[in-house]
Amino acid sequence: CTGLPLAMHYTSDIATAFSSVAHICRDVNFGWLIRNMHANGASFFFICIYLHIGRGLYYGSYLYKETWNIGVVLLLLVMMTVFVGYVLPWGQMSFWGATVITN
């Protein structure tokens, strides 16, 4: 729900990515709210994922190998997607996060 409005105002060029995020927060109506809801929604999604993993461990769902392996693959895909979302603003934290992960 929040990714589409953000994507409509975001530019992916390295030189203008950070300024487009600043534009979203400052100039777009409720852009700051949409961006914060997007970031907090991603964090809440991970809380739900970790609770789901904990439930699977508690009830022994890891005994179903195929299902568990699909879950692990999905977790890795979600983590890669979140990393890309973390790097997109291309601020200092994003730059150094990308530098650490890629080296």
Q: What is the 3-state secondary structure (H, E, C) of the chain?
A: CCHHHHHHHCCCCCCCHHHHHHHHHHCCCCHHHHHHHHHHHHHHHHHHHHHHHHHHHHCCHHHCHHHHHHHHHHHHHHHHHHHHHHHCCCCHHHHHHHHHHHC
Considering the entire predicted model, what is its pTM? Answer: 0.85
**pLDDT over 90, % of the chain:** 98
What is the average pLDDT across 95-103? Answer: 94
Encoded tokens for 4? 């589409």
Q: Report the mean per-residue pLDDT for the chain.
A: 96
User: How confident is the model at residue 102, as a pLDDT?
Assistant: 92
Query: For 3-97, which CATH superfamily applies?
Result: Cytochrome Bc1 Complex; Chain C (1.20.810.10)
What is the average pLDDT across 71-76? Answer: 98
Encoded tokens for 49? 């994922």
| pLDDT tens-digit series, residues 17-57 | 999 999 999 999 999 999 999 999 999 999 999 999 999 99
